[in-house]
Amino acid sequence: MDDRKKALQSIANDRWRVSLLLSGAMMLIYFGFILLIAFNKPLLGSIIFPGLSLGILLGALVIVSAWVLIFLYVRWANNKYDERINNLTRK
Query: Biggest alpha carbon distance in the chain?
Result: 65
pLDDT tens by residue, 2-39: 888 898 899 999 999 999 999 999 999 999 999 999 99
Residue 77: partners with Cβ closer than 8 Å, 6 or more residues away: none
- 52 φ/ψ angles, rounded to the nearest 5 degrees: -135, 115
- How many Å apart are CA 62 and CA 26, to the nearest integer? 8
What pTM, to 2 d.p., does this model score? 0.84
**Residue 50, SS3 per DSSP:** coil
- 53 φ/ψ angles, rounded to the nearest 5 degrees: -95, 165
